[in-house]
Structure 1
Amino acid sequence: MNQPLSTEKIYNAQASNWLRSEKVLLSDFTARPRVLESLGNIEGQDILDFGCGEGYVSRMLLEAGVKSVFGVDSSAEMITQAQTMASELKLANANYAEGNAVTFDQFPQTSFDKAIAVFLFNYLTIEEMTQVMTRVHALLAPGGTFVFTVPHPCLPFMRAETPPFYFEHGKKTYLDGINQTFEGKIWRRDGIPVSVRCVHKNFSHYFEALAKAGFNSLPEVKELAVTDEHLAFDPKFFGPLKGYPLHVLFKVKAND
């Protein structure tokens, strides 16, 4: 029986299909703009980007006026692309490092104003996610904000394995698939799919992990889906996802 590819190998192999300077992937429309919206005022702030990929969201943050961004990702190819783009665009305040989010400890500063993890935790077990959240809590300045997105826990069990977004749950159910890896794909508007995966968790696991990490306030939770604006813009691409919960966004503050 063949062993599944590591997350690093998956992303190293398809790094070029993630590189972009404008909205291309489904989640570039349905999730990433909501991350920036949820962060609120970020001008002049230092941001930690865990699971930064090729730096697309980091570049959006820099365009919005942040002081600096530090991104970490386990894929060497994605980090190379992030660094190359930062160099080409002369973004001196963008810095990136290759590393496993669970064990990485080479941060350039002891605290950040805000932190994001855009589709990172779907690659980690509950235990690993809790470790990362604990590290984020320790690195946030008092009152700092942490925003993260994950695939909606219900999505694998609601949609057939068809474009433009799905996960394969096999014979697992919502309750007995916990910490099991579901392989999936998400599409670009030009028809190119990229491989994604989801280590399945339910809502309670996110709340419990945040509490164990030291976050004492309840997070804001938003279920993200295609909007009427998306459907009007490209009905053929977004239409198959109408009415489905695609992602979940969590926003939580560190203690003052």
Structure 2
Amino acid sequence: MNQPISTESIYNAQATNWLRSEKILLSDFTARPRVLEALGKIKDQDILDFGCGEGYVSRMLIEAGVKSIFGVDSSAEMIAQAQSMAKELKLSNATYTVGNAVSFNQFPQTRFDKAIAVFLFNYLTIEEMTQVMSKVRSLLVAGGTFVFTVPHPCLPFMREESPPFYFEHGEKSYLDGINKTFEGKIWRRDGVPVSVRCVHKTFAHYFEALAKAGFNSLPEVKELAVTDEHLAFDPEFFGPLKGYPLHVLFKVKVND
């Protein structure tokens, strides 16, 4: 039986399709701005960006006034894009390195004010996700904030496999697809699709992993979808997703 292509290979092959300096991907509209909103005050703070990709979100954070960004991603090509853009834009406070979030430990400092993981955990098993959450918890200062986004656990089972966003669940149901990999695609507004995948988890798994990782307060949870503003801006692109839960945003703080 053929082995599935690795996540690194997927992103190395399509890195140029992710590179952007403005909103173009569906989730650039429906999810990433909400991450910045959830982070709150970030001026003069040190931010850890796990699964940073080609650095789009971290460049937004630098523009908003962060002290430094340290980004880690398993795709060498995505990191090369991030480093190239940082050099071109003279972003001396942005550092990007290749690494697997589960095993990476070469951090430039022992504490960060905030951490983000924008669509990272959908590429990890429940066990791997818990390990990364534990690592993030150990790196955050007292009062620090962790914000992450994932595809909505229900989406694969609610939508047919059509643009501009879907996952293939095959014959698996919500409960018997746990820790199984669903392949999918998400579209850019210019019609270009990029491949994504989701290692399926239920809502309960995210709460359980945060507790096991040492976060001792309930997270804030927001279900993200297209808005009336999105529909007014580009009804043809966003219209097929009206009324569907697309992503989930979790925000949790370190209380001690």
TM class by shorter-chain length? over 0.9
SS of the residue aligned with 2:237? helix
Amino acid at match of 1:65: G
Matched, 1:72 2:42: no
Task: Tell me the alpha carbon deviations over residues 129-149 of structure 1, each in whole angstroms, 9 at most, x when there is no partner.
Answer: 000000000000001000000
Q: Deviations over 1:109-148 (max 9, x none)?
A: 0000000000000000000000000000000000100000
CA positional deviation for 1:64: 0.3
CA distance in 2, matches of 1:71, 1:201: 25
Q: Kindly, what percent of the aligned residue pairs are identical?
A: 86
Separation in structure 2 between the aligned mates of residue 196 and residue 66 of structure 1, nearest angstrom: 29
Cα distance, 1:2 vs structure 2: 1.9
Q: Give the letter aligned to residue 133 of structure 2.
A: M
Counterpart of 1:161? Answer: 161
User: Aligned to 2:177, what secondary structure does the other structure show?
Assistant: coil
Alignment-derived partner of residue 230 in structure 2 = 230
Q: What CA distance in whole angstroms lies between the structure 1 residues aligned with 2:216 and 2:54? A: 32
Q: Structure 2, unaligned stretches of length 5 or more?
A: none
Taking the aligned partners of 2:131 and 2:37, their CA distance within structure 1 comes to 26
Indicate the residue corresponding to 1:90 in structure 2: 90
Which residue is equivalent to 1:209?
209
In the other structure, the counterpart of 1:175 is: 175
- For the residue of structure 2 that corresponds to 1:144, the secondary structure is strand
Letter in 2 for 1:126: I
| Cα separation, 1, equivalents of 2:77 and 2:254 | 32
Alignment deviations for residues 54-99 of structure 1 (CA, whole Å, 9 cap, x no partner): 0000000000000000000000000000000000000000001100
Counterpart of 1:135 in 2: which secondary structure? helix
Secondary structure of 1:175 counterpart? coil
Alignment RMSD, CA only? Answer: 0.4
| In structure 2, distance between residues paired with 1:63 and 1:243 | 32
Please tell me the residue identity of whatever aligns with 2:167. Answer: F
TM-aligned CA deviation for residue 255 of structure 1: 2.3
The 2-side partners of 1:111 and 1:96 are apart by 17
What's the secondary structure of 1:215's corresponding residue? coil
**One-letter amino acid matched to 1:112:** F
1:246 maps to amino acid? L
Give the structure 1 partner of residue 248 of structure 2.
Answer: 248
Aligned to 1:8: 8
What amino acid does structure 1 have at the position aligned with 2:166? Y
Q: CA deviation at 1:254?
A: 1.0
- Give, in whole Å, the separation in 2 of the partners of 1:254 and 1:76: 31
SS state at 1:95 partner: strand
Give the SS at the match of 1:142: strand
| Secondary structure of 2:218 counterpart | coil
Amino acid at match of 2:217: S
After TM superposition, give the deviation of residue 233 of structure 1 in Å.
0.1
Tell me how far apart the structure 2 counterparts of residues 247 and 241 of structure 1 sit (CA, whole Å).
Answer: 12
Aligned to 1:188: 188
Q: Report what 1:129 is aligned to.
A: 129
| Alignment partners' CA distance in 2, 1:249 and 1:91 | 27
Q: Which runs of 5+ in 1 are unaligned?
A: none
